[in-house]
Structure 1
Amino acid sequence: MLHFLGLASFGAPLLSSAQMLQAARRLGGPDFEAPQSWSSDTCIFAWRRMALRPETRSAPIPIVDPESGTCLIGSGRIDERAELSAALGMHSRGASDTELMAQSFARWGEAGVDRLMGNFGFALWDGKAGRLTLAKDYFGTTPLFYHRGDGFVLFGTNPAALLATGLCSREIDHATLGENLMGRSADPEATLYRDLRRVRRAATLRIDRSGCRETIYWQPERGAPLLLKSDADYVEATRAMLDRVLVGHLRSPAPLGVMLSGGFDSGSIAATLAMLAPDRTIAGFTCVPAGGDPDRMRRMAREWAHVEALARKHPNIEAQAVVDKDMLPCDDRYRDLFADTGLPIGAPALMCRRLALAEAARRSGVRTLFNGDGGNRTLTSEGPQLFAHLFRSGRWLDLATEARAAAAFSGKPLGKIIWRDVLRDIVPRQLLKAWYRLRDMRVPDITEGSLLRRPFANDSGLIDTWRAAPNSPDRIRLLRTEEIEPVYLNVQPSHTDGMTLAYNRMGLDVVAPLRDRRLVDFILSLPPTQFRRGGVPRFLARRVLADRLPAATLDERGYFDPFADLGLWAEKWWDEAGRKISGQRPAELAGRAIDLPQLRQWLATPLPDFMGREAGNARIVGSAIANALHVNHFLRWHERLND
């Protein structure tokens, strides 16, 4: 794992090595090596490294080609190494990941990025041509930012380091700030800072004196269906793909860990790793409740029972229960994180759990930590598109049978299943739109469910951005189910970089293999009949994982509640947050962006009363209130205010 900072000049003077090294202190975390630098007449790099794989310890940084005059600095993990090396005519043994990136670019140019599988981000400077190329994989878990200045381009993996150079402004981008309050995003290139842009997933960006050109070299889409002879063939092909995606991670000799729930997604990762490496220990870290509502606690206790059953099935999985979730939305410890990353984290209610798991993993010596993000859009898709598929195929008797079976399996009225999962995908879109209008079923305003002020959202341009966004509520509700998965798989929340950098700062490379490009391509090629059968959702996953997960887990019909002890977590900060907010002089930007009067009013209500008033108030606590408190905390740090 390597974090880097670079400056390429089109005539502007370069910073000194001392200046770059000073800014590079913001890169990485305590377990990273000391900052180092390299420079030429037109470019300077600085970096900090933490070697996860043997070949990275001796790999040169940067990769310099004297003949072409190019130099490359990058980070990540390249998979399918043997195949790539054969195509390049080189030996993969001993080659570093960055050497494979450089060789691929040297052989095929920008088209070579499309041949790289895994998780990576790099910058390549061609001093002779005066051209910078930035590239990132589809995973998107290697952050990469850039700023185009007057005669130079500043780039790197950490906003705090870029800001520390003094070459770009700390001015906040209002639209992206609003998205942090909403907890979702539309613009894949925007960052929290007006002068910083993000290299989006599966993209190359070429920058020279004449301007900037972006190429999206891959995106999720449904292609021609994969036709195999039998159901068993689909199961074996899916297992082979899951193994193929995960095996590359075993190159690292450092301990591997999984944010392990009792469900299908993270369980499939832990079980597959355990089977691929039976001689290695796979550490699992599971959040368990500290108490609370008895019914919810029983459901979470059942989830822990599934984790324990998984560990019994695979003895090399060592599961650890994590109770303490003590990172609060306005915790003072976040100030150090803000200083080191320049960003808030997204979704603090979720991250309080994930940071607790990450801290347990760090103490255990884990260096690569997996999560199951994206599984419900790939491996564990419920397959609601089956109904439209049967209708278009003229298999109407099968359609009726599946609808009745789905109602019986879910315990929901048949009429609801017919409307939600059958008719919605069958009726013409104009008719569906007219139905919504007739029923006065309006599209919720994007600010609803948050404490983002509507005038701020409008003035910042956020309203207009969301009207045109592929994941806007108005567009999503008119898409057919089979069209929705590619949209969500391609959304890159602007606030997730803060999460990634927080993990990296702890010395953890956190990955989500169920979003791997190879798995996405494969899953989107499978016929809908593989994902739902006889009313049973996740039909493919239940069969694929039959050799990996306990039978009781495979029989689960619903999902576990990750926020069962939300009330207990909120008790730790509710009253104190109310006192702080009521007595603060607001940060100027917070006063414009956040509905502080509403926030104060809610926090003035005793927590049990607030959560007991309406069923949706627990969600408000975990999203709107927690997000607003955390963003307010960040803005006070950013404006250098004392509480």
Structure 2
Amino acid sequence: MWDMVGAIEAAGDQNLSPRRLAAIASPFARGPVTARRSGSLVFALAPARSGLERLVPPLSHGDDGAITLLDGWLAGEGDGVSSGARMGREPDVARAHRLWRRWGTAAAPHLHGSFALAHCPPANEAGGERVWLCRDGGSHRPLYFVHLPGRLIAFATQPKMLLALPGVRRDLDEDIMLAALANYMTLPAEAMPYADLRRVPSAHWVCLSAQGVDMAPYWTPRDRPPPAGFSDDDYVAAGRDLLDRVVGDYARGPGPVAVALSGGLDSQAIASSLLLHTSGPVHGYARLPPTEHQTRTGPTTFADERPGVDSLAARYPRLVVHAITRRGVKPGDAVLRETQRATALWSPASLFQCSQMDVNLAASADGMACLLTGIGGNQTLSWRGDDRFAALIASGRWPGLLWEIAACGAVNGAWRLRQVIGALAPEPLRRLFGRSRKPFHRVSYGRFFTREALARLDQAPRDINGVTDAMGVRELRLFMVGLDCFFLDVDALDARRLGLERGDPLADRRMVDFFLSVPADQCLRHGRDRWLARRILADRLAPEVVWQPRFGDPLVDIGPRAEAWRPGLSLGIERLRGSRLARRLLDLDRMAEIAGADWPADIAGDRRSFATVASLAAAVQTGGFLHMIDGAND
């Protein structure tokens, strides 16, 4: 895990030297910084984790003057011109350099793994002086760039590095910020909330040259044909082999490996794979609130994750469970403000970010080097298979549809039967029986905009996920797999700040490609959703985990947690009154009323109350970022 920053100045400018870039990179370094000049490119590489200073920095020079820098690692597959023995001996950065020199952008689809790379060809090569940037298809290796025509081309793994370069404006792009809060799902993936910064979207390459910026995806999630001739057992064997291979790739490298653990399938799939194919202890970090705090219940979820975690620990003695029982980080806390200052970004998803930071802080304090999560599993390994109903309807197999619906109810209970029928029933039929769909109160990142902020938008702020309401199941799945935005970078940058490398094997491009090729009847059969995942894991996990029809609820303790947030939210709102930007864009008076006299009474049981408090927490997070920008500019 290496941070990198590089720049090419216009001819005649000499503002940047290796020493100056080393000074810019040094606040992020956990070891000596390597800074050099290669032709017109000046760059610096800084180890982002202790212990890496003993390794050779990940850069590769060619005899022709070309240079490649790499943050991350490459999987040992996808390269059609090398033997396995050569790939085993060849450093990842040398392999990336060789493939890029041979194929150019056509090399990108052959690079699997978790990486961000920069390649600078010789200045005398056809096309002139330019820099190529490329990222993998995940969200854990951010890469950013600046293109100021006639002045500066620059790239970095940290936004703050680019903001420190001479001539780069730190001004907030208020239109981008407001658009992201109003509906981040429709925001261009390269957009950044700063006037001069842009980001490299996942699974894209970018070319920066005097002629401008070229950008294109080299991979997009799409439906793929199923493997020819596969039986049920073949899908299980192929899925299990792929899971083990990908998890093994993400766990490679020096230092202890940890898993963000829960009582559900996805995290336990990763943990069990590690435990079966590695030696030594595997550490699991699980948020396990006390039973008396588990106040939010529902028919589709289970409250207590501890029995599932305990069953895994009993099955695998090498699993070391670290239970996080305290309420931990709260919206508006100083640690969140420190993250904003260190990363120069923010996430309004304060509930999710607080939970992730609890795990990050605990794993970092224990000296973990790598933390694996299973967040992407809902769209890959443990895809529920609801598109099977649409497939049965499209093929006119009405008896099969009725049988599958009935089986869902028999296996899972009345709640699942109502859920399936409600999703399939057309709205006119629902109205006929007086069961029209009711508004679903959800979090809105723009709920507390001022009138001035609303007037600047060309769209009304929407609830998060509101843009997906009209999508079909399959369309929604593809959309969520490809979702990309600077909000998603914050967790990875925060972990990196703590010297912790995060990865999500279940969101790996290889996992996405395979599971998008799996037919719907492999994921939902005989009323069992996630049928393929359950069969893959049947001999690895406890039966009560494998066949549990409900999902764990990460907000089961939201009632007590929110009450603990209330004083900090009130203090945070008062602090925001000192920010010119926050006063202008956020309705601080209304926010203070919600935190005070209008505080909802039943946050755990009432969706509207929960959405109100979560939206307030998001506004306080956003206000903290605005306050930081004010301080940086004033």
- Same fold, TM exceeding 0.5? yes
Give the equivalent residue in structure 2 for 1:138.
137
User: What is the rounded CA distance, in whole Å, between the counterparts of 2:320 and 2:204 in structure 1?
Assistant: 38
User: What is the rounded CA distance, in whole Å, between the counterparts of 1:552 and 1:261 in structure 2?
Assistant: 14
CA contact (8 A) 1:162 1:168 kept: yes
1:232-281 CA distance string (max 9 Å, x none): 1111111111112112134313111000011011111111111111x221
User: What is the rounded CA distance, in whole Å, between the counterparts of 2:443 and 2:415 in structure 1?
Assistant: 29
Give the equivalent residue in structure 2 for 1:605.
597
Change (3 A) 1:612 1:214: closer
Give the equivalent residue in structure 2 for 1:79.
75
Give the equivalent residue in structure 2 for 1:33.
31
Give the equivalent residue in structure 2 for 1:269.
270
Change (3 A) 1:131 1:381: same
Give the CA deviation at 1:288.
1.2
Give the equivalent residue in structure 2 for 1:366.
368
Q: Does residue 493 of structure 1 match 2:493? A: no
User: What is the rounded CA distance, in whole Å, between the counterparts of 1:274 and 1:613 in structure 2?
Assistant: 38
User: What is the rounded CA distance, in whole Å, between the counterparts of 2:580 and 2:177 in structure 1?
Assistant: 13
Tell me the secondary structure at the aligned position of residue 415 of structure 2: coil
Gap regions ≥5 residues in structure 2: none
User: What is the rounded CA distance, in whole Å, between the counterparts of 2:253 and 2:416 in structure 1?
Assistant: 50
User: What is the rounded CA distance, in whole Å, between the counterparts of 2:366 and 2:419 in structure 1?
Assistant: 47
Change (3 A) 1:530 1:208: same
Q: Does residue 158 of structure 1 match 2:158? A: yes
For 1:181-192, list aligned pairs within 5 A: 181=181, 184-186=184-186, 187-192=188-193
Match of 1:118 among 107, 113, 122: 113
Give the equivalent residue in structure 1 for 2:552.
560
CA contact (8 A) 1:444 1:473 kept: no
Change (3 A) 1:269 1:414: closer
Give the CA deviation at 1:25.
2.6
Q: How many corresponding residue pairs? A: 621
Q: Does residue 480 of structure 1 match 2:481? A: no
Q: Does residue 42 of structure 1 match 2:45? A: no
CA contact (8 A) 1:21 1:35 kept: yes
Give the equivalent residue in structure 1 for 2:258.
257
CA contact (8 A) 1:181 1:451 kept: no
Tell me the secondary structure at the aligned position of residue 213 of structure 1: strand
| 1:349 aligned partner, one-letter code | L
User: What is the rounded CA distance, in whole Å, between the counterparts of 1:72 and 1:462 in structure 2?
Assistant: 42
For 1:549-628, list aligned pairs within 5 A: 549-582=541-574, 585-605=577-597, 609=601, 611=603, 614-621=606-613, 623-628=614-619
1:162-181 CA distance string (max 9 Å, x none): 11123311111224423664
Give the CA deviation at 1:23.
1.5
User: What is the rounded CA distance, in whole Å, between the counterparts of 1:85 and 1:53 in structure 2?
Assistant: 33
Percent of aligned pairs with the same amino acid: 27
Tell me the secondary structure at the aligned position of residue 206 of structure 1: strand
Give the CA deviation at 1:579.
4.2
Give the CA deviation at 1:208.
1.3
| 1:173 aligned partner, one-letter code | D
| 1:157 aligned partner, one-letter code | T
Tell me the secondary structure at the aligned position of residue 533 of structure 2: helix
User: What is the rounded CA distance, in whole Å, between the counterparts of 2:57 and 2:419 in structure 1?
Assistant: 61
For 1:331-342, list aligned pairs within 5 A: 331-342=333-344
Tell me the secondary structure at the aligned position of residue 450 of structure 1: coil
Q: Does residue 7 of structure 1 match 2:3? A: no
Match of 1:380 among 379, 382, 388: 382
Match of 1:105 among 100, 107, 124: 100
Give the equivalent residue in structure 2 for 1:66.
63
Give the equivalent residue in structure 2 for 1:355.
357
Tell me the secondary structure at the aligned position of residue 119 of structure 1: strand
1:277-334 CA distance string (max 9 Å, x none): 1x22111000111464455499877311110101111222111101234322222233
Give the CA deviation at 1:52.
8.7
Give the equivalent residue in structure 2 for 1:532.
524
| 1:87 aligned partner, one-letter code | S
User: In terms of mean alpha carbon deviation, does 197-206 or 595-604 score higher?
Assistant: 595-604
CA contact (8 A) 2:34 2:57 kept: no
User: What is the rounded CA distance, in whole Å, between the counterparts of 2:7 and 2:206 in structure 1?
Assistant: 15
User: What is the rounded CA distance, in whole Å, between the counterparts of 2:441 and 2:608 in structure 1?
Assistant: 15
Give the CA deviation at 1:473.
3.7
Gap regions ≥5 residues in structure 1: none
RMSD: 3.3
CA contact (8 A) 1:10 1:130 kept: no
User: What is the rounded CA distance, in whole Å, between the counterparts of 1:380 and 1:359 in structure 2?
Assistant: 28
| 1:205 aligned partner, one-letter code | V
User: What is the rounded CA distance, in whole Å, between the counterparts of 1:53 and 1:99 in structure 2?
Assistant: 21
| 1:412 aligned partner, one-letter code | W
| 1:286 aligned partner, one-letter code | A
| 1:77 aligned partner, one-letter code | W
Give the equivalent residue in structure 2 for 1:309.
311
| 2:447 aligned partner, one-letter code | S
For 1:135-284, list aligned pairs within 5 A: 135-151=134-150, 152-178=152-178, 181=181, 184-186=184-186, 187-277=188-278, 279-284=279-284
Give the equivalent residue in structure 2 for 1:636.
627
